[in-house]
Structure 1
């Protein structure tokens, strides 16, 4: 069942759901499955070298004839190589994050690529618009992974972005079901980006331990940590609790970086280290109770969306 918005028109998709390009989660299997079900799948290049990204793009193309995109963290040292691979492989949608989109905006536009940037506040939303982005993702602090220092919630951020921007706004952070999609659209968003809910699906490339920890999480089981070196929301485990204690003891940035170490995201999300890994997940994890296929999840999201509209005595067009 289709539901048209500016985002469905922009991406030529059936329903305004974008799957977040999460590190160690969003490979070609997840991205193609979401796109095949009428949403927009994203390959998460943040955990890939350029050659691996090229491989995932080609496999995604072989698995779907629907639009899909690539998420590129702009602060990566090899961001220019990831951009070049994306262009060379003919991908026409890029979601950027963690940096200023102006650096690559013209190059992407010259190659017919739609550019969408993730922002945590109005200031950066305006900068993304000025840089020529086609849309923004407004990500509230409920979201898993890296968050904005201002810690603005989705419910407060989205209408403020909508009120000042001329380009479409996609809502992200804490959205895991049809009720959340309706709420986001009611705030003025033209679509939603969903991360943690898609992380706990069969096609997600994440480790089964990580998926299980999402399902087991309750409403208080995620925490914001490492504020001095890059605010991160993760599931509470031994590492997260040590990080909280270190912050309470006022460790400096050098010591916190030593505590974080290298490849902790990979250890938690991809390798399944439940105690010492970084298990990034949003507050919406408390609503996630199973690990379905993407097809099952997409059907549920769309069905619940329309059921919610009906409860509000609205009619989907």
Structure 2
């Protein structure tokens, strides 16, 4: 696989980025992906500032390859989190869930490459205007927090590509080499993979959650809670409670009360499959085994090359 705009931007071997997922993407997963030639990301969204510092320090010891940190911009303690990233010498930040103008120039002034995650053409252009180095365009299929527009990856990537000048990374529904090839044909320079890396020994999520992901079939996930922050999750007891509440025409406050606190931690990190929020993408229906993160990268690259050679001609 030859170099392209993404491998050059991050100084990595393959244009494969591991999503910075809450309760899954700690230093073990990030370092494993980076060591395999991709770009590992630590998901700071589920970490207190000092926990993030610990993960960054452990990741630096576990890999001499580039890695980054994902930061949800709407979270509290942003000043402290950004300062830790700067102090620890992290050189790549993926931002999401907020206005990229807030921190991009400050991070870049410290030599940090900044990428922003979006779910629409409109916000891709706003991110470019804010001066980010690249954009992740995430389709409706993706797990976790998502866009309200429900634009699928197949439609979103070419629409963003048509108007974007900076490098473009595709996300949502990508778990193998064939899907990677597909979005790159549509105009992406690289891919961000989340859900597939949940089903790895290195992911910090609970084994109960990993096992349930393997059992997921088409239709087992759904995007909901749009009034708060749209999130795609597996259907379980908590999900059914959400649907039941919607039948009563709830207020935003009613939804907030049902969601409560630490619902995602309860499900994905503590393994409560009934009352927890279980965030995963539609592609979970194609995830059938738990295997090392490095092997996932290796298999994606191999399948990408084979699929590229087998493209039909007419």
TM-score range, shorter chain: over 0.9
Work out the CA distance in 2 between the residues paired with 1:240 and 1:289.
23
Describe the SS at the equivalent of 2:258: helix
Match of 2:7 in 1: 8
Match of 2:231 in 1: 232
Q: Map of 1:106-185 to 2, 5 A cutoff?
A: 106-185=105-184
Match of 1:191 in 2: 190
Displacement after TM superposition at 1:244 (Å): 1.6
Do 1:3 and 1:16's aligned partners in 2 also have CA atoms closer than 8 Å? no
Do 1:234 and 1:279's aligned partners in 2 also have CA atoms closer than 8 Å? yes
Work out the CA distance in 2 between the residues paired with 1:194 and 1:241.
28
Displacement after TM superposition at 1:42 (Å): 0.2
Match of 1:305 in 2: 304
Work out the CA distance in 2 between the residues paired with 1:298 and 1:109.
29
Work out the CA distance in 1 between the residues paired with 2:12 and 2:246.
44
Match of 1:89 in 2: 88
Displacement after TM superposition at 1:248 (Å): 2.8
Match of 1:53 in 2: 52
Work out the CA distance in 1 between the residues paired with 2:294 and 2:129.
37
Match of 1:71 in 2: 70
Q: Map of 1:194-273 to 2, 5 A cutoff?
A: 194-273=193-272
Compute the TM-score of the two structures, normalised by the length of structure 1: 0.97
Structure 2 unaligned regions, length at least 5 = none
Displacement after TM superposition at 1:132 (Å): 0.6
Describe the SS at the equivalent of 1:102: helix
Work out the CA distance in 2 between the residues paired with 1:248 and 1:156.
31
Work out the CA distance in 1 between the residues paired with 2:17 and 2:282.
18
Work out the CA distance in 2 between the residues paired with 1:298 and 1:119.
24
Work out the CA distance in 1 between the residues paired with 2:263 and 2:4.
38
Displacement after TM superposition at 1:298 (Å): 1.4
Displacement after TM superposition at 1:135 (Å): 0.3
Work out the CA distance in 2 between the residues paired with 1:74 and 1:171.
20
**Where in structure 1 do 4 or more consecutive aligned residues deviate above 4 Å?**
none
Compute the TM-score of the two structures, normalised by the length of structure 2: 0.98
Do 1:179 and 1:308's aligned partners in 2 also have CA atoms closer than 8 Å? yes
Do 1:226 and 1:244's aligned partners in 2 also have CA atoms closer than 8 Å? no
Displacement after TM superposition at 1:299 (Å): 1.4
Displacement after TM superposition at 1:249 (Å): 2.3
Describe the SS at the equivalent of 1:99: coil
Match of 2:27 in 1: 28
